[in-house]
Amino acid sequence: MSEQQKQFITITLWTFAVLFVLRLFINWSELTNLIKINGISSLVYSVIGYIGEVIGVTSLIMLFFEKRAWRWKFFTKIHSVPVLYPKYIGKFTSSYDNTSRECELFLKQSFLNIKIKFKTNESTSNSITASINKISGNKNLIYTYLNVPKAELQQNSVIHYGTVILDIDNPEKLEGNYYTSRDSKGSMVFEI
């Protein structure tokens, strides 16, 4: 289980607990009356109903949190998931020809998922898998991709798979390396 998934479960459980206590507090007088008249079965039925209500509300809150609210400043203090920008401009240098090329990196990020699209004048890559991991104390975006060059370039630049590892400790400047199934590799740097 990833660190993000553990944090998501922890936040979900705390949200449920707080909402459940609030729900009990709202109907406290009704619950104490049921205890006084020895209406244990009614009390259990009410509490089970409250649990169902709170599960529903918690699910809606956590859906909103996972998609949007996790980025808010207030919430970034309770989790360690870096908030990355949706678009970066950069350059990469390939061992294939030692030429520096301009590129763009597009990210679609939620709390639990991240999808990456990488574009140059020659090709487009889309992530197959992607995750944020802490390695040797640094946060890294690691993803595998499928690169599809433009049709007119595919004779010299074949469709291929690759892996990218970017240091994301500074979300305004991402730096790292890539490796491909064509036995090429290179360095990359992106800025907002």
Calculate ∠ Cα 123-124-127, nearest 5°.
Answer: 145
- To the nearest whole number, what is the mean pLDDT of the chain? 91
Domain range 87-191, CATH architecture: Beta Barrel (2.40)
Calculate ∠ Cα 102-107-112, nearest 5°.
Answer: 150
**Residue pLDDT, tens place only, 159-190:** 999 999 999 999 999 999 999 998 889 999 99
Query: What is the token pair recorded at 5?
Result: 């998934």
**Residue pLDDT, tens place only, 64-79:** 999 999 999 999 888 9
Nearest to 159 by CA among 167, 168, 148: 148
**Maximum mean pLDDT: which of 11-20, 75-84, 153-162:** 11-20
Q: What is the pLDDT of residue 25?
A: 86
Q: What is the pLDDT of residue 125?
A: 96
Q: Is the pTM of this model over 0.85?
A: no
Rounded CA-CA distance 128/36 in Å is 60
Delimit the CATH 2.40.128 region(s) of the chain. 87-191
Rounded CA-CA distance 40/43 in Å is 5
